[in-house]
């Protein structure tokens, strides 16, 4: 296809797939799109292992890596340690998460007791907390740049100057996710190579403006600032949507949720089943997962945090430290068939999941996008004729 994204990365079809699963990354790239590995939860050693595997299984096709260096978070720019952050968490939050699990017959008492819970929280924050900071992020990037990656993406905020410079030094394009017109202008002025413009429909961290409004709004806002290609994200799960959003100014799409129920994906069978059955209205946008607005699958856990009795979510990364240990227990118990845990189980996902009603491979998903895109194109050209 004649798209700046295809030319930039030497790919056949301008579909970029974000995934925490290396198998999905390789499958999408081999199918003609480009996979991007989400690495915020990796240690440098884990990332090296996954990227080596991808190199050996991707047939020389291009791929990228996504990290998360937020513009702001609690303790940024200071010497605050994981222990310091954990000591900022009021006991009320530990009691609340333990009570939610108890209401569904899941044993979470280790998350209530102060000494036990702090050790669990320390383990939980050891990777995520380090990777948010410059030192941890740089270590991940050093690993990434030792492999033949073609793209590095920052998932939250304007990439720091050092990240942009590392991209230039290694001849790797730098992308950044954003959810508002004003953010797009800042990204372009900072020197970002690709804008990933994500509407509120998207899974994970998201803004409040819909994709259909945001793409043309951003396109107009940056037209005099330089020719920076746009990847549209947020709720896009079909080739028809891809064709439509590209007529509005996007040069391709960035998708994640549509790949979560695929056969290769890292998601559990319980989550895949929930996603296949979910409608577009069965997701919730809330600060309860990370302290910043993010969209995830509605469950008994998300309902509890949206109730009037729930404490107000803490800032990032404190809320993450509160939630992730509990959700790890839930996920493990749900995999073992515990009914209460299965009701609590949740995962980041966008509203586009309501358009996904089957479990197929990642490669088949890309092929389906191509076929639907062509059908949509023919429909439009037929109208003109």
Which pLDDT score is estimated for 114? 66
How far is 356 from 215, CA to CA, in rounded Å? 23
In terms of phi and psi (left: phi > 0; alpha: psi -120 to 50; beta: otherwise), the region of 34 is: beta
Q: What is the pLDDT of residue 256?
A: 97
- Single out the residue of 99, 130, 78, 131 nearest to residue 322, CA to CA: 99
Cis, peptide link before residue 254, omega less than 30° from 0? no
pLDDT digits (tens, 9 = 90+) for 176-227: 999 999 999 999 999 999 999 999 999 998 989 999 999 999 999 999 998 9
Nearest to residue 9, comparing CAs of 65, 67, 64, 57?
64
Average pLDDT, the chain: 92
Residue range 218-238: average pLDDT?
Answer: 96
Neighbours of 241 (CB within 10 A): 23
């Amino acid at each position: 296809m004649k798209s700046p994204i295809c030319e930039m990365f030497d790919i056949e079809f301008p579909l970029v797939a974000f995934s925490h699963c290396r198998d999905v990354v390789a499958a999408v790239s081999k199918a003609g799109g480009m996979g991007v590995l989400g690495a915020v939860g990796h240690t440098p050693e884990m990332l090296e292992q996954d990227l080596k595997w991808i190199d050996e299984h991707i047939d020389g096709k291009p791929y990228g890596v996504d990290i998360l260096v937020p513009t702001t978070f609690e303790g940024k720019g200071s010497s605050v340690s994981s222990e310091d952050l954990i000591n900022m968490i009021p006991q009320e939050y530990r009691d609340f998460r333990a009570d939610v699990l108890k209401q569904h017959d899941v044993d979470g008492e280790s998350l209530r007791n102060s000494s036990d819970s702090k050790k669990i929280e320390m383990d939980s924050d050891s990777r995520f907390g380090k990777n948010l900071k410059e030192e941890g992020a740089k270590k991940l990037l050093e690993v990434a740049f030792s492999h033949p990656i073609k793209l590095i993406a920052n998932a939250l905020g304007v990439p720091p100057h050092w990240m942009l410079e590392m991209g230039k030094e290694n001849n790797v394009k730098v992308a950044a996710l954003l959810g508002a017109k004003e953010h797009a202008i800042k990204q372009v002025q900072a020197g970002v190579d690709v804008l990933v413009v994500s509407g509120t429909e998207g899974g994970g961290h998201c803004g409040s403006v819909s994709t259909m409004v945001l793409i043309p709004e951003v396109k107009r806002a940056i037209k005099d600032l330089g020719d920076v290609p746009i990847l549209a994200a947020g709720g896009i799960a079909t080739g028809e949507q891809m064709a439509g959003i590209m007529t509005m100014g996007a040069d391709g799409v960035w998708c994640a949720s549509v790949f979560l129920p695929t056969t290769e994906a890292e998601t559990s069978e319980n989550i895949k089943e929930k996603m296949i059955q979910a409608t577009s209205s069965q997701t919730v946008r809330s600060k309860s997962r990370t302290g910043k607005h993010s969209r995830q699958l509605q469950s008994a856990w998300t309902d509890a945090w949206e109730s009037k009795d729930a404490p107000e979510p803490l800032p990032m990364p404190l809320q993450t430290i509160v939630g992730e240990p509990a959700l790890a227990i839930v996920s493990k118990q749900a995999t073992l068939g515990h009914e209460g845990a299965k009701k609590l189980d949740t995962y980041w996902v966008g509203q586009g999941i309501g358009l996904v009603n089957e479990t197929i491979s990642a490669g088949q998903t890309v092929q389906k996008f191509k076929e639907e895109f062509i059908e949509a194109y023919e429909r439009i050209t037929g109208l003109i004729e």
